[in-house]
């Protein structure tokens, strides 16, 4: 943590004050975001906002359960994002499968496939919990603790192996892309 | 010595556009937030955004993309240094409308080229929409500006500002219909609602900017700020009588706030609706204004 | 109005009984289930489509594992009187083959692919039936069959989080404490 140069520390200050978020709402939980963006909780006062594309985003917010099919797309999306990037797992399903723990098509823990910086527990977490999590993430970025993107690079082999074990193949083959 | 003074003036213009452009954008976000009953980000949020994007590690999409981004930013900076900010003119005597109109396309074309160079279909759709929209707003706008140039018999913007100061009344009073048309066109130039289709974030994933990561995003944000600065400055110079530097900034702020407030409450036109709108109401009003001017009915 | 509509429905059900000897079960006021023989289902569907039940809401399947058969259910809807008809037929579970209705309803192609993917029913005439739709790279039993064990599959493919604490055990201890204190208070 002390390896950061002065420039990195300044950059981390900037990054913590301007976080653009890509919310991948494949499961439930998307409905908790509008209250945290609009006038009740107003995420924009913290410098956060939704972004339309993975290239511009800093945070990948994954809400609710992830099916195998969507996990392939999420891995694509994550690898498209520019460093430094942060992943937030949202809801019980990303932590341990939640009520879908025995499903044939949903994964049980997200940090096995992608480096998660922060989890928000609950089914569903309330907007207060979301804002609290973002505050914690800001704090972590300022201290240089949100290093998921570095971990993903260092342990790339391990993550790839896990992805292949559950998915068979990460590359998407379907009738609409070929 | 004159070379040094010119360099200083250019630096002054660029710094003004950078600092006040980003500040006014931040204030604009705050105004939008207040209209939506939110608290809104701090006024310096856009500075943080730009500098943050510069600290990230992004990707290029080939040399044509790099070149397009640089051409866009460079073209806009070149255009900006010819725009008179009230009485701050970087190149006195050269602040001709035709120079600005000509250089302005360099930036727009650079952006179009770079963004299409990413190969992303959303970017192509966004650029196509932006150029289509340009076809819509440029025609009425150019008719009005040509009318103005015809009336004053000069293409020099400083002369038009001076003429307004001598006459003691602004062009917005003299040419109310033309000013209205220019204001409507300005909304389209700024890419604000209801003419926001080129960058529609929800349907085409922010259009031209879809593949921009990190530094490229930051440079394009700066380019966007400079472009807005040019467009509003031209309106202030042509219709609100320019003025000294600080008066100019005040007028600029009022026009910008008006545009932001309009955009905060309006939905979005589809692209063909926008062009159809521009080619009916504003173009007829522009012709009406031209008719008045040609017949000498200006008071 | 209501009378004539009901008459209309009753008339069609009578005709269906006579022509295709279906068994009719009334589910609700505007819902009727028609259970048809295997080979008479397609003509029955064609007849109902001609009689106004032109909207195929869904084609789905039920696994009756003890009776060793699948039940295919076509849900038809009539937009003019709001009546829903469920046409159901039973096919053999060991050799699940049926005929496609995609020429009558083009959307049925996707419902058939869905049923094929989740139950393994083949639809003759639908050549795109075998293409994957939801499950990519699936190489196990079709997952909605009753003899498929999703928990086992999940344990094999998707690693669980290993908890260091036994949360349930701890909760029992806490609860025992609570009961003790409550006992104290009461006593």
- Residue B58 tokens read as 């992004």
Distance from CA of A113 to the nearest CA of C (A): 10
Query: Is residue A117 within 8 Å of A86, Cβ to Cβ?
Result: yes
C103-119 confidence digits (pLDDT tens): 888 888 889 888 888 88
Mean pLDDT of B7-13: 87
Give B-chain residues touching A47 at CB under 8 angstroms: 41-42, 45, 48-49
B66-76 confidence digits (pLDDT tens): 888 889 999 99
The reply to whether A170 touches chain C by the CB within 8 Å rule is no
- The rounded distance, in Å, linking the Cα atoms of A83 and A75 is 15
Inter-chain Cβ pairs, chain A and chain B, closer than 8 A:
79
Does the distance separating the beta carbons of C160 and A103 come in below 8 Å?
no
Q: From B71, B55, B79, B1, select the one nearest B217 (Cα to Cα).
A: B55
Does the distance separating the beta carbons of A174 and C132 come in below 8 Å?
yes
Query: What is the reported pLDDT for C4?
Result: 52
The reply to whether B40 touches chain A by the CB within 8 Å rule is yes
Q: Which of C133, C137, C138, C158 to mutate to test the interface with A (most CBs of A within 10 A)?
A: C158
Give A-chain residues touching B205 at CB under 8 angstroms: 52-53
pLDDT(B257) > 90: yes
Q: Which of A7, A40, A55 to mutate to test the interface with B (most CBs of B within 10 A)?
A: A55
- The rounded distance, in Å, linking the Cα atoms of A66 and C37 is 41
Residues in CB range of B68: below 8 A, 6 or more apart: B110, B111, B112, B113, B114, B115, B116, B117
- Degrees to nearest 5, angle at CA B275 with B271 and B279: 170
Expressed in angstroms, the distance from the first to the final Cα of chain B is: 44
B167-214 confidence digits (pLDDT tens): 878 888 888 888 999 999 999 888 888 888 777 777 777 778 888 888
The DSSP element (H or E) to which A131 belongs, if any, is: helix A127-143
Q: Do chains B and A touch (3 or more CB pairs under 8 A)?
A: yes
Distance from CA of B29 to the nearest CA of A (A): 9
Query: What is the reported pLDDT for B31?
Result: 92
Query: Is residue C114 within 8 Å of C58, Cβ to Cβ?
Result: no
Does the distance separating the beta carbons of C158 and A96 come in below 8 Å?
no
- The rounded distance, in Å, linking the Cα atoms of B165 and B169 is 7
Among the partner residues C136, C140, C158, nearest to A166 by beta-carbon distance: C158
Q: What is the edge-to-edge ordering of all strands in the sheet holding A49-50?
A: A49-50, A20-24, A59-63, A86-90, A118-120
- The rounded distance, in Å, linking the Cα atoms of A118 and A134 is 9
Examine residue A84 and say whether the peptide bond preceding it is cis (omega within 30 degrees of 0): yes
- The rounded distance, in Å, linking the Cα atoms of B153 and B82 is 20
Does the distance separating the beta carbons of C134 and A69 come in below 8 Å?
yes
- The rounded distance, in Å, linking the Cα atoms of B71 and B61 is 15
- The rounded distance, in Å, linking the Cα atoms of C39 and C115 is 19
Does the distance separating the beta carbons of A102 and C150 come in below 8 Å?
yes
Does the distance separating the beta carbons of A47 and B211 come in below 8 Å?
no
Does the distance separating the beta carbons of B40 and A45 come in below 8 Å?
yes
Mean pLDDT of B46-50: 91
Q: Beta strand pairing status for C97-99 and A118-120?
A: unpaired
Inter-chain Cβ pairs, chain A and chain C, closer than 8 A:
54
Which residues of chain A have a pLDDT value below 50? Answer: 1
Does the distance separating the beta carbons of B51 and A44 come in below 8 Å?
no
Mean pLDDT of B81-94: 82
pLDDT(C187) > 60: no
Task: Identify the three-state secondary structure at position C118.
Answer: helix
Does the distance separating the beta carbons of C143 and A105 come in below 8 Å?
yes
Give C-chain residues touching A96 at CB under 8 angstroms: 160-161
Q: Which residues of A touch B (CB under 8 A)?
A: 11, 14-15, 17-18, 38-39, 42, 44-47, 50-53, 55-56, 58, 81-84
Does the distance separating the beta carbons of A47 and B45 come in below 8 Å?
yes
Among the partner residues C132, C134, C154, nearest to A108 by beta-carbon distance: C154
Does the distance separating the beta carbons of C135 and A105 come in below 8 Å?
yes
Q: From B16, B73, B25, B71, select the one nearest B48 (Cα to Cα).
A: B25
C70-88 confidence digits (pLDDT tens): 899 999 998 888 888 899 9
Per-residue confidence at B1, pLDDT binned at 50, 70, 90? low
Per-residue confidence at B30, pLDDT binned at 50, 70, 90? very high
Mean pLDDT of B127-136: 88
Using the Cα atoms of residue C133, residue C134, residue C139 and residue C144 in order, give the sign of their dihedral. negative
Residue A64: phi and psi, rounded to 5, are: 75, -165
Q: Specify burial of residue C186 (Cβ count, 10 A radius: 0-12, 13-18, 19+).
A: exposed
Distance from CA of C151 to the nearest CA of A (A): 4
The reply to whether C154 touches chain A by the CB within 8 Å rule is yes
Using the Cα atoms of residue A53, residue A54, residue A60 and residue A64 in order, give the sign of their dihedral. positive
Examine residue A124 and say whether the peptide bond preceding it is cis (omega within 30 degrees of 0): yes
Q: Specify burial of residue C176 (Cβ count, 10 A radius: 0-12, 13-18, 19+).
A: exposed
- Residue C25 tokens read as 């079960």
The reply to whether B43 touches chain A by the CB within 8 Å rule is no
Query: Is residue C97 within 8 Å of C110, Cβ to Cβ?
Result: no
Q: Tell me, letter by letter, the H, E, C secondary structure of chain B.
A: CHHHHHHHHHHHHHHHHHHHHHHHHHHHHHHHHHHCCCCCCCCCHHHHHHHHHHHCECCCCCHHHHHHHHHHHHHHHHHHCCCCECCECCCCCCCEHHHHHHHHHHHHHHHHHHHHCCCCHHHHHHHHHHHHHHHHHHHHHHHHHHHHHHHHCCCEHHHHHHHHHHHCCCHHHHCHHHHHHHHHHHHHHCCCCCCCHHHCHHHHCCHHHHHCCHHHHHHHHHHHHHHHHHHHHHHHHHHCCCCCHHHHHHHHHHHHHHHHHHHHHCCCCCHHHHHHHHCCHHHHHHHHHHHHHHCCCCC
Residues in CB range of B12: below 8 A, 6 or more apart: B88, B90
The DSSP element (H or E) to which A118 belongs, if any, is: strand A118-120
Give A-chain residues touching C161 at CB under 8 angstroms: 95-96, 108-109
Distance from CA of B199 to the nearest CA of A (A): 10
The DSSP element (H or E) to which A71 belongs, if any, is: helix A68-80
Query: Is residue A27 within 8 Å of A91, Cβ to Cβ?
Result: yes
Query: Is residue A91 within 8 Å of A124, Cβ to Cβ?
Result: yes
Query: Is residue B181 within 8 Å of B145, Cβ to Cβ?
Result: no
Give A-chain residues touching B48 at CB under 8 angstroms: 14, 17-18, 47
Distance from CA of A25 to the nearest CA of B (A): 14
Query: What is the reported pLDDT for C140?
Result: 81
Residue A24 CA, distance from chain mean position: 8
- The rounded distance, in Å, linking the Cα atoms of C136 and A171 is 11
- Residue B6 tokens read as 């010119």
The reply to whether B74 touches chain A by the CB within 8 Å rule is no
Find the length of chain A: 178
**For residue B206, is it left (φ>0), alpha (ψ between -120 and 50) or beta?**
left
Query: What is the reported pLDDT for B27?
Result: 93
| Predicted model pTM | 0.81
Beta bridge partners of C90: C71
Among the partner residues A104, A112, A172, nearest to C154 by beta-carbon distance: A104
Among the partner residues A101, A104, A107, nearest to C143 by beta-carbon distance: A104
Query: What is the reported pLDDT for C8?
Result: 81
The reply to whether A70 touches chain C by the CB within 8 Å rule is no
pLDDT(C165) > 80: no
Task: Identify the three-state secondary structure at position C42.
Answer: helix
pLDDT(C36) > 70: yes
Among the partner residues B39, B42, B55, nearest to A15 by beta-carbon distance: B55
Among the partner residues A69, A101, A162, nearest to C136 by beta-carbon distance: A69
Give B-chain residues touching A15 at CB under 8 angstroms: 52, 55-56
Give A-chain residues touching C164 at CB under 8 angstroms: none
Mean pLDDT of C157-167: 77
Among the partner residues B36, B51, B205, nearest to A53 by beta-carbon distance: B205
Q: Beta strand pairing status for C97-99 and C84-92?
A: unpaired
- The rounded distance, in Å, linking the Cα atoms of B260 and B269 is 16
């Amino acid at each position: 943590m002390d390896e950061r140069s002065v420039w990195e520390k300044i950059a981390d200050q900037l990054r913590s004050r301007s976080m653009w978020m890509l919310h991948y709402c494949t499961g439930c939980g998307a409905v908790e975001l509008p209250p945290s963006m609009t006038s009740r909780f107003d995420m924009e006062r913290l410098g956060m906002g939704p972004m339309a594309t993975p290239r511009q985003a800093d945070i990948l917010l994954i809400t609710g359960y992830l099916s195998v099919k969507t996990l392939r797309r999420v891995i694509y999306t994550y690898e498209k994002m520019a460093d430094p990037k942060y992943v937030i797992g949202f809801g019980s399903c990303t932590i341990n499968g939640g009520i879908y723990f025995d499903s044939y098509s949903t994964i049980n823990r997200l940090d096995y496939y992608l480096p998660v910086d922060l989890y928000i527990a609950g089914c569903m977490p309330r907007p207060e919990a979301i804002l609290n999590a973002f505050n914690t993430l800001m704090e972590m970025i300022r201290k240089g603790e949100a290093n998921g993107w570095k971990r993903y690079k260092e342990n790339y082999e391990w993550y790839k192996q896990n992805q292949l074990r559950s998915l068979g193949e990460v590359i998407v083959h379907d009738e609409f892309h070929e | 010595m004159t070379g040094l003074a010119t360099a200083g003036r250019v630096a002054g213009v660029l710094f003004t556009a950078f600092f006040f452009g980003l500040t006014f954008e931040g204030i604009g976000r705050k105004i939008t937030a207040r209209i939506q009953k939110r608290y809104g980000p701090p006024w310096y949020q856009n500075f943080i955004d730009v500098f943050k994007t510069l600290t990230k590690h992004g990707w290029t999409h080939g040399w044509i993309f790099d070149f397009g981004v640089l051409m866009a930013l460079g073209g806009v900076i070149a255009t900006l240094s010819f725009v008179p900010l009230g009485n701050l003119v970087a190149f006195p005597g050269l602040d001709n409308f035709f120079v600005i109109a000509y250089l302005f396309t360099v930036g727009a074309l650079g952006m179009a080229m770079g963004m299409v160079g990413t190969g992303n279909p959303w970017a192509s759709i966004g650029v196509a929409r932006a150029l289509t929209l340009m076809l819509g707003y440029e025609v009425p706008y150019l008719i009005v500006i040509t009318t103005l140039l015809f009336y004053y018999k000069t293409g020099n913007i400083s002369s038009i500002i001076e003429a307004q100061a001598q006459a003691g009344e602004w062009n917005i009073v003299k040419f109310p219909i033309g000013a209205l048309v220019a204001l409507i066109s300005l909304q389209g130039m700024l890419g604000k609602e209801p003419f926001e289709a080129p960058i529609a974030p929800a349907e085409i994933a922010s259009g031209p900017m879809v593949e921009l990561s990190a530094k490229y995003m930051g440079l394009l944000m700066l380019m966007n700020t400079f472009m807005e600065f040019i467009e509003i400055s031209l309106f202030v110079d042509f219709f609100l009588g320019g003025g000294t530097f600080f008066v100019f900034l005040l007028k600029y702020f009022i026009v910008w706030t008006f545009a932001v407030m309009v955009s905060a409450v309006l939905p979005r036109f589809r692209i063909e609706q926008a062009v159809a709108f521009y080619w009916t109401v504003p173009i007829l009003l522009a012709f009406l204004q031209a008719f008045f001017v040609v017949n000498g009915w200006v008071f | 109005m209501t009378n004539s509509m009901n008459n209309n429905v009753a008339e069609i059900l009578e005709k269906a009984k006579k022509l295709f000897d279906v068994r009719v079960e009334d589910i609700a006021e505007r819902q009727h289930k028609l259970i048809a023989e295997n080979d008479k289902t397609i003509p029955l569907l064609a007849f109902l489509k001609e009689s106004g039940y032109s909207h195929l809401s869904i084609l789905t399947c039920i696994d009756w594992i003890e009776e060793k058969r699948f039940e295919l259910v076509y849900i038809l809807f009539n937009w003019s009187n709001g009546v829903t008809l469920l046409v159901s037929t039973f096919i053999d579970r060991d050799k699940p083959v049926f005929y496609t209705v995609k020429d009558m309803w083009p959307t049925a192609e996707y419902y058939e692919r869905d049923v094929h993917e989740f139950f393994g029913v083949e639809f003759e005439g639908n050549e795109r039936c075998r293409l994957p739709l939801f499950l990519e790279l699936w190489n196990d039993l079709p997952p909605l069959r009753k003899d498929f064990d999703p928990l086992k599959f999940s344990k094999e493919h998707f690693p669980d989080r290993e908890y260091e604490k036994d949360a349930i055990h701890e909760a029992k201890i806490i609860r025992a404490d609570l009961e003790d204190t409550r006992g104290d208070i009461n006593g």
